[in-house]
Structure 1
Amino acid sequence: MTFESPSASGLTRRGMLTGAAAIGAGSVGLATAPAAAAPLTARGYRTRVVLAGTAGGPPPQDGRLGICTVVLVEDRAYLVDLGPGAVTAYARAGLTMEQVQSVFITHLHSDHLAEVYNLFWLNYGAPGARGNISRSVGIYGPGPAGSVPQAPGAPVQQPEAPTPGLTDFLRGAVAATAYDLNTRMAESRKPDIWNVLDPHDIELPDIGASATNRAPDMEPFEVMDDGFVRVTAILVDHPPVFPSFAYRFDTADGSVVVSGDTAPSDNLVRLARGADLLVHEVYDHAYFATINPRLAETFSRTHTASDRVGQLASAAGVGTLALSHLVPAGVRDVPDQVWKRHARKSFGGTVVVGRDGDTIGIGGRTK
Structure 2
Amino acid sequence: MTDSLALMGVKGGPAIRPGSQMPVSMLLRMDGKNIVVDCGLGVTRGICDQGVALTQIDMIVITHLHSDHYLELGPLFHTAWTAGLNRTIPVIGPKGLDDYWHAFQESMRFDIDLRIRDEGRCDFDSLAAISVIGDSHDFGGITMRAMRNVHPPIVDTFALRFDGQHSSVTLSGDTAYMPEMAEFARGSDLLVHEAMLRDGVEALCARMTNGDERLRTHILRSHTDAEDVGRIAKDAGVKQLALNHMVPDGDPDFTDQNWTDAVRKHWDGPFFLGKDGLQITL
Name the residue aligned to 1:199: 130
Whichever residue aligns with residue 346 of structure 1, its letter is: H
Query: Runs of 4+ in structure 1 displaced over 6 angstroms?
Result: none
Alpha-carbon contact 1:236-1:262 (below 8 Å) kept: yes
Residue 57 of structure 1 and its aligned partner are, at CA, apart by 0.8
Question: Does residue 1:110 correspond to 2:67, yes or no?
Answer: yes
Partner Cα distance (2:5, 2:278) in 1: 8
Partner Cα distance (1:64, 1:91) in 2: 17
Name the residue aligned to 2:10: 54
Partner Cα distance (1:262, 1:302) in 2: 6
The CA deviation string for residues 88-109 of structure 1, in whole angstroms up to 9 with x for no partner, is: 2222222211320000000000
Which of 352, 355, 363 is matched with 2:272 structurally?
Answer: 352
Cα RMSD over matched residues? 1.8
Name the residue aligned to 1:119: 76
Partner Cα distance (2:151, 2:187) in 1: 23
Which of 172, 180, 195 is matched with 1:282 structurally?
Answer: 195
Residue 332 of structure 1 and its aligned partner are, at CA, apart by 3.7
Name the residue aligned to 1:222: 136
Alpha-carbon contact 2:55-2:80 (below 8 Å) kept: no
Residue 290 of structure 1 and its aligned partner are, at CA, apart by 4.0
Whichever residue aligns with residue 124 of structure 2, its letter is: I
Deviates more, 1:294-303 or 1:194-203: 294-303
* TM-score w.r.t. length of structure 1: 0.71
Q: Which SS does the other structure have where 1:231 is aligned?
A: strand
Which of 76, 83, 101 is matched with 1:170 structurally?
Answer: 101
Whichever residue aligns with residue 84 of structure 1, its letter is: L
Question: Does residue 1:86 correspond to 2:6, yes or no?
Answer: no
Alignment of 1:1-367 (within 5 A): 46-61=2-17, 62-125=19-82, 127=83, 132-143=84-95, 165-203=96-134, 221-227=135-141, 229-290=142-203, 292=205, 294=213, 295-330=215-250, 332=252, 334-362=254-282
Residue 118 of structure 1 and its aligned partner are, at CA, apart by 1.1
* TM-score w.r.t. length of structure 2: 0.91
Residue 300 of structure 1 and its aligned partner are, at CA, apart by 2.1
Partner Cα distance (2:72, 2:173) in 1: 16
Whichever residue aligns with residue 313 of structure 1, its letter is: A
Alpha-carbon contact 1:100-1:133 (below 8 Å) kept: no
Whichever residue aligns with residue 63 of structure 2, its letter is: T
Partner Cα distance (1:255, 1:181) in 2: 38
Partner Cα distance (1:331, 1:185) in 2: 45
| Structure 1 unaligned blocks of 5 or more | 1-44, 144-164, 204-220, 363-367
Residue 223 of structure 1 and its aligned partner are, at CA, apart by 2.4
The CA deviation string for residues 164-208 of structure 1, in whole angstroms up to 9 with x for no partner, is: x111211111122111111111111111113321111224xxxxx
Partner Cα distance (1:69, 1:358) in 2: 10
Q: What's the % identity of the aligned pairs? A: 31
Partner Cα distance (1:331, 1:321) in 2: 23
Whichever residue aligns with residue 306 of structure 1, its letter is: A
Alpha-carbon contact 2:34-2:57 (below 8 Å) kept: yes
Partner Cα distance (1:272, 1:361) in 2: 17
Deviates more, 1:95-104 or 1:282-291: 282-291
The CA deviation string for residues 268-303 of structure 1, in whole angstroms up to 9 with x for no partner, is: 223211111001111111112345374544322100
